[in-house]
Structure 1
Amino acid sequence: MACGSAVQPKPGGWSFSCWPGRWVRRWVTSGPKIKRGINVETNMKQSESPADDVLTISVIMPVYNGIEFIKQSLPPLVAMKDRGEVLEVIVVDDTSSDATPEVARELGAEVMPSGGRLGPGAARNVAAQVAKGDVLWFIDADVIVHEDAARVMLEGFQESNVVGVFGSYDDEPPAQNFLSQYKNLVHHYYHQRARREASTFWSGCGAIRKDAFLAAGGFDVEMFKRPSIEDIELGYRLIGGGGRLLLLTDLQCTHLKEWRFVNLIHTEVFCRAIPWARLMLARGGLDDDLNVGVAERIKAVLAAVFFLLTAVALIGAVSWIYPVLAFGAVLYANREIFTLFLRRKGLVFAVAGLLFHQLYYVYSSAAFAWAVLESKLGVQWA
């Protein structure tokens, strides 16, 4: 999986496309190819269901060669449909080369083709056009929602002016290797402690009113031609249009993905950190939520100091008391996530997870610094 295209600049500026291994630059004479001037709040109020009506839900799941995933993720959703909790379960097959669509039908889902190898964002857009529900519930193929997820999700829409809600992974990922446990627990940690009034959107298990989604123009697959942060960017547009997004900590799901080192670093740096940094810089400021908040930036500085002092101590330039003290500061600053690691996986994992988390801070900071450098030099390296 590769990172998405760069954030588009203002008219009359340079645009830089993400393409591994080379510099790509072109002059832009027209603005971004996303819809501007939308008013999600007005659009939603015009078509909002009466308070006494129950919103209907269309589940949308994009998939490509995901037989083993959908065998686990579809049954709970189909059961919700059988209980009348959701109106339909739509699987959008992104031109799988295996029997994924046939298996999805056998499991009880409605299956439609995406129309080519378009990627998950475009596949979601295709299904949104034909979905019958008031709410579009986007769920990744490698995600198993909890039994009460539909009820919890609908409760969020009862609040005034809410156009979208999303949840988090739970703290029981089935893949047992270190990186899978670490990554999923970190996601759980950040989403569980974030502000309820969200500043972005997450499409792994998130729902948006159909009218608001269509008014916003859906996922921007021109800006992000490959899977990246198209859900985050959509969230910015929904809020910019006057809507509210909520992070519901009780809306939880189990993530089936098994992470490996190269895939994790590539995804984290090139598909998430750098594109998100570019997007925030293009918007004129950093968010103060989730894993980019002020407290997280302070922890990133501590991580850099810890590694620097450790490196200097290794060559005998300073006493080991300094990296030990730095580690104490790191442990104190990260005590909440360390406690989560300790509670779920024990002391050895907790220490290893804490150390790897400091590496995460370093490569995430490096990715942001790279995005800043790009903006100063007027170039972009994918």
Structure 2
Amino acid sequence: MLSAIVPATNDPPTLARCLEAIHLASDPPDETIVVDRPARIGPAAARNLGSEQAVGDVLVFVDSDVAVHDDAFTRIRQAFVADRELVAIFGSYDDAPAAESVVSTFRNLLHHHVHQRAAGRATTFWAGLGAVRREPFLAAGGFDEQLFPKPSIEDIELGMRLVAGGAWIELDPLLQGTHLKRWTLLEMVRTDLFQRGAPWIALLLRNRSTSSALNLGWRERASATSTLALVLALATRRRRTAAGAAAVFVSLNAPFYALLLRRRGTRTASAGVLLHLLHQLVALASIPLGLRLHVRDRVRMRTNADKRSRNLADRR
């Protein structure tokens, strides 16, 4: 049985379209659980609440701003039936986002592009449209709602935890949904910096991981390096070096810019190069913030451990 779980505690305006797509899909889930209370809790806690109520042996997480494709649940059922060793599977946004603004197109197609390139066995998880067997999910403790009380990388952390325990996770590039969200430039920067970049760096440091999953592949790292080289060259007025760094950056990401051109035209593709540079700058800025977050968490853990030790000593 499939149990679809939709976190919706922030009164999302896209919820009706999300639920309609689930209802109209071929071979829909056996139950759909919408978690809209208590208000304002984070998606990690909302998904955990839904999981506690679910009766299905497979939990399908669908974000409230995603309209699943017609065959989404069919693909999920087939994947779990075909291989009993499979613990989790997730997909990606499609290449036709609902919002047509330049920023929305860039951000949504970047996600699509990264996930499509990473098809196959995965070392992480995505809860925008992802499914996991109920027993291993509960055994792992579900999403870490204490570490992630607000929207962040709670799904990535869950995936890393599952894989560390020996789980097999698959990224199916044909398991897709349309993203209904409209991005603004400020929202994109804030999300990439504070909700994704910095927490991801802190997570890697905490786990001492050298993951190359999704946004951490060699191409992304080379893009970040060429972005840094470009900025330094411009700051020191080394035009040839700047031109070379820019050429490297564009060549590394040419397939993505071709996707932007194909889907939304020259204007969007041209703006996409500049937005991509901004995206890389934000990723670089997240490194010191992530380091600071890691140190803060270590201090907090040590303080809590000391308090527990003192409490035990007092009881004796």
Please report the TM-score for the alignment, with normalisation by the length of structure 1.
0.74
How far apart are the structure 2 equivalents of 1:77 and 1:374? 38
Letter in 1 for 2:33: I
1:233 to 157, 161, 164: 157
Residue type matched to 2:19 in 1?
A: L
Q: How does 1:356-371 map onto structure 2 within 5 Å?
A: 356-371=275-290
Q: Deviations over 1:224-270 (max 9, x none)?
A: 12221111111112112221111110000001111112211111111
Per the alignment, do residues 67 and 329 of structure 1 end up closer, same or farther by CA in structure 2, a change over 3 Å counting?
closer
* C-alpha separation in 2, matches of 1:301 and 1:204: 29
Is residue 2:223 matched to residue 1:223?
A: no
- Whether contact under 8 Å (1:167, 1:247) holds in the other structure is yes
The match for 1:286 among 205, 210, 214 is 210
Amino acid at match of 2:284: S
Instruction: Report the CA distance shift for 1:76/1:375 in structure 2 as closer, same or farther (over 3 A).
Output: closer
1:346 equivalent to 2:270? Answer: no
Which residue of 2 is the match for residue 355 of structure 1? 274
Of the candidates 137, 157, 167, which is equivalent to residue 213 of structure 1? 137
Check conservation: 2:118, 2:214, Cα contact below 8 A. Answer: yes
- In the TM superposition, 1:198-277 aligns within 5 A as 198-277=122-201
- 1:143 and 1:218 mapped to 2: Cα distance? 21
Kept in 1, the 8 Å contact 2:35–2:50? The answer is yes
**Structure 1, gaps ≥5 residues long:** 1-55, 95-114
**What root-mean-square deviation, in Å, do the aligned CA atoms of Structure 1 and Structure 2 show?**
2.0
1:66–1:141 Cα contact (<8 Å) kept: no
For 2:13, which of 52, 61, 68 is the aligned residue? 68
Q: Give the structure with the larger helix fraction.
A: 2
Change (3 A) 1:333 1:57: same
- Residue identity matched to 1:310: L
Following superposition, the deviation at residue 375 of structure 1 comes to: 5.2
TM-superposed deviation, 1:366: 2.1
Aligned-partner Cα distance in 2 for 1:79–1:306: 49
SS in 1 for 2:178: strand
* Residues 24-80 of structure 1 deviation map (CA, whole Å, 9 limit, x = unaligned): xxxxxxxxxxxxxxxxxxxxxxxxxxxxxxxx1111101135463122111121224
CA contact (8 A) 2:9 2:39 kept: no
Give the gaps of 5 or more residues in structure 2. Answer: 301-316
Number of positions where the alignment pairs a residue of Structure 1 with one of Structure 2: 298
Distance 2:63 2:152 in 1: 14
Q: C-alpha distance in 1, partners of 2:192/2:132?
A: 25
What does residue 309 of structure 2 align with?
none
Q: Deviations over 1:326-360 (max 9, x none)?
A: 22222111111111111112222212211221221
Tell me, in whole angstroms, the C-alpha distance in 2 between the residues paired with 1:371 and 1:235.
Answer: 19
* Partner of residue 86, structure 1: 29
**Pairing partner for 1:143 from 56, 66, 69:** 66
- Are the counterparts in 2 of residues 274 and 371 from structure 1 also a CA contact under 8 Å? yes
Displacement of 1:374: 5.9
* Paired letter, 1:289: A
Higher relative contact order (CA 8 A, sep 6+): 1
C-alpha displacement of 1:150: 0.7
Q: Which SS does the other structure have where 1:153 is aligned?
A: helix
Deviation for aligned residue 1:131: 0.9
Q: 2:47 aligns with which of 113, 117, 124?
A: 124
Work out whether residues 61 and 92 of structure 1, in 8 Å CA contact, stay in contact via their aligned partners in 2: yes
- Decide whether aligned partners of structure 1 residues 240 and 368 sit closer, same or farther in structure 2, where only a CA change above 3 A counts: same
Deviation at 1:159, TM superposition (A): 2.1
Percent identity of paired positions between Structure 1 and Structure 2: 39
Inter-CA distance 62–370: structure 2 relative to 1 (3 Å threshold): closer
Shift of the alpha carbon at 1:92?
Answer: 1.0
Please say if residues 342 and 349 of structure 1, whose CA atoms lie closer than 8 Å, have aligned partners that are also in contact.
yes
SS of the residue 1:346 aligns to? helix
Please give the alpha-carbon distance, in whole angstroms, between the structure 1 residues aligned to 2:284 and 2:23.
42
Q: Which deviations, in whole Å up to 9, do the C-alpha atoms of 1:122-170 show, x marking residues without a partner?
A: 1111111121111110001110000011111222222241111110001
Structure 1 residues 143 and 235, CA, compared in 2 at 3 Å: closer, same or farther? Answer: same
Shift of 1:361: 1.2
